[in-house]
């Protein structure tokens, strides 16, 4: 291939996205002359405060909520912790949580910590397409369920969960509903009232803002206590001087997403489907994960037959992508998400996640397909099952 002196083609937008030029331009003044503390009531502080509030409106507009329902955080992980722990630490009589077996560690770990504090956690399964079924949540709900936390879109498979139906069941039993929407916001329309959620987390670096900034939507009236303790910023829910440049960047990224969300989603889905058709035509037995069910428009999770996905990617340095496998003491283990879907380990070890983004072009899709085809047959011919373990599927 002729890509040796170039950067690899980036196919890992679900892991992180580049800071988009318009986002960087919006941020730069607040990294230079507009450096004031937004809590300061003088000519340096007031522009910073105005910029934070404008960004809050931009985030709220993308989620279709009120400005004062947005709380800025350091990212999706902090937003999830604030939502999950902030609800449960207020809960006295209700000490039960319902979540799923395919959540991100930013949800898994707060739930596990609460379990160590004598709360109870029920983890519902997913079906063969990787989706949480509302019936499973309904069965798991109890009279003492305080919180249901189910992600909106799965980061490895792209499965989009039936969250509105899940939320309706949860609310009927008096539970609060939280969703980790980090992978969904900016890729598909997200309307908090249509989803019927009370809390929603997002991460800036998943939608072309910098790493280290995120937000939590908190529906008015939702009981929540801060996890961090300090001053009274962000309505007392997230103390600490606001990260003005990054907040501005998040606002600009949300405004950018809102401008052409439907058209860009359609473009990426067309490219994703074209890539799948090229791979399916050239590699017999390649499997599409989650076929026939709602998925993110940019996400293609496939399993190469008879080889390990990590070996295919190691043989294709022209492409930057991820597998869902993990390495432990030299042994490679299949993605727990794929195993939870009932995919045999021998098949799941062949998984590769290809996630597209704003920078993906049609010409790149053709190169990626040819490169993966060549890499697959190279690995298959050489009989190599093992490869470099690539595990960042955040």
The beta-carbon contacts of 169-175 under 8 Å, at least 24 apart in sequence, are 169/134, 169/137, 169/138, 169/141, 170/98, 170/137, 170/141, 170/145, 171/196, 173/141, 173/142, 173/143, 173/145, 174/94, 174/145, 175/94, 175/98, 175/141, 175/145, 175/146, 175/147, 175/148
Instruction: Select which of 65, 254, 327, 389 is catalytic.
Output: 327
Q: How many CB atoms lie within 10 A of CB 67?
A: 14
Q: Are strands 70-73 and 326-328 parallel, antiparallel or unpaired?
A: unpaired
Around 313, how many Cα atoms within 13 Å sit in the side-chain half-sphere? Answer: 28
Confirm whether 327 is a catalytic residue: yes
- What's the number of CA atoms in the CB half-sphere (13 Å) around residue 339? 11
CA nearest neighbour of 36 among 21, 27, 46, 50? 46
How far apart, in whole angstroms, are the C-alpha atoms of residue 34 and residue 347? 54
- Backbone φ, ψ for residue 302 (5° rounding): -130, 155
The continuous run of DSSP H or E covering 77 comes out as helix 76-88
**Do the Cβ atoms of 202 and 181 come closer than 8 Å?**
yes
Residue partners of 100: CB distance under 8 A and separation at least 6: 123, 124, 125, 126, 132, 150, 151
Q: Which residues pair with 287 in a beta bridge?
A: 303
Kindly list the catalytic residues.
Answer: 327
């Amino acid at each position: 291939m002729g890509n040796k002196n170039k950067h690899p083609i980036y196919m890992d937008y679900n892991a992180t996205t580049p800071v988009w030029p318009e986002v960087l331009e919006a941020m730069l003044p607040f990294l230079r002359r507009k450096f004031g503390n937004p809590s300061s009531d003088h000519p340096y502080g007031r522009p910073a405060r105005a910029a934070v509030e404008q960004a809050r409106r931009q985030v709220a507009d993308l989620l279709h909520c009120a400005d004062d329902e947005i709380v800025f955080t350091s990212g999706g992980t902090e937003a999830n912790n604030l939502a999950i722990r902030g609800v449960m630490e207020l809960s006295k009589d209700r000490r039960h949580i319902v979540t799923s077996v395919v959540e991100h560690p930013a949800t898994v770990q707060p739930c596990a910590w609460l379990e160590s504090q004598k709360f109870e956690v029920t983890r519902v399964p997913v079906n063969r397409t990787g989706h949480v079924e509302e019936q499973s949540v309904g069965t798991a709900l109890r009279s003492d369920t305080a919180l249901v936390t189910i992600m909106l879109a799965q980061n490895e498979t792209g499965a989009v969960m039936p969250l509105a139906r899940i939320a309706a069941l949860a609310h009927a039993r008096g539970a609060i509903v939280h969703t980790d929407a980090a992978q969904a916001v900016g890729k598909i329309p997200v309307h908090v009232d249509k989803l019927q959620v009370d809390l929603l987390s997002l991460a800036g670096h998943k939608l072309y803002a910098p790493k280290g900034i995120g937000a939590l939507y908190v529906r008015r009236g939702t009981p929540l206590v801060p996890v961090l303790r300090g001053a009274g910023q962000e309505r007392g829910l997230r103390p600490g001087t606001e990260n003005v440049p990054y907040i501005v960047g998040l606002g600009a990224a949300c405004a950018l997403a809102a401008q052409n969300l439907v058209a860009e989603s359609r473009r990426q889905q067309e490219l994703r489907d074209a890539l799948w058709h090229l791979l399916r035509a050239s590699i017999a037995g390649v499997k599409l994960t989650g076929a026939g069910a709602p998925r993110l428009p940019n996400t293609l999770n496939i399993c190469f037959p008879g080889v390990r996905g990590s070996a295919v990617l190691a043989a294709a340095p022209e492409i930057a992508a991820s597998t869902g496998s993990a390495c432990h003491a030299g042994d490679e283990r299949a993605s727990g998400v794929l195993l939870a879907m009932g995919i045999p380990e021998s098949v799941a070890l062949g998984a590769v996640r290809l996630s597209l983004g704003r920078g993906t072009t049609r010409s790149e899709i053709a190169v990626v397909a040819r490169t993966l085809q060549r890499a697959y047959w190279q690995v298959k011919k050489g009989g190599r099952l093992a490869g470099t373990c690539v595990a960042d599927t955040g």
